[in-house]
Amino acid sequence: MAHAPLVTVVPGDPVTVYAPAAQTITASGDSGTLDTSSVANGILSVFVTGVTGTTPSITVYYDVQDAAGYWLTTQTLTAITSGPNFTFGSIGPGSGGYIFTSKGRVRWVVSGTNPSFTGVSISLIGR
């Protein structure tokens, strides 16, 4: 009786795509264009140690760039309004069918009156 070949798939080592030093964020911004050509999926996490201001909120997004150069949002993390606090989400095919293109970015939108988020650590790790 013939047997199917044994196939063992070993996931690749994690790759840090984006992980700047902890920072204070007071305005909306983004990471700039990231090279995601070496990863197929990943996890995006945000940790905040402190929050001040009136009704402060920070929402973090993951966007991919399509072939025409347009940015498309493929993941929206839960907004952080107090600290210490964190949020995270998976990105890639396992999270709604979206794929990585060769270019992506992490983007954050800050709202409220005089909002300040201290000790902000944003991390994008892929495989």
**What pLDDT, on a 0 to 100 scale, did the predictor assign at position 55?**
98
Overall size of the chain counted in residues: 127
- How far is it, in rounded angstroms, from Cα 29 to Cα 107? 6
- How far is it, in rounded angstroms, from Cα 123 to Cα 46? 7
- DSSP codes, 43-76: EEEEEESEEEEEEEEEEEEEEEE-TTS-EEEEEE
**What pLDDT, on a 0 to 100 scale, did the predictor assign at position 4?**
58
- How far is it, in rounded angstroms, from Cα 27 to Cα 48? 14
Q: What is the mean pLDDT of each run of 10 residues along the chain (127 residues)?
A: 58 87 98 92 96 98 94 95 96 73 95 98 94
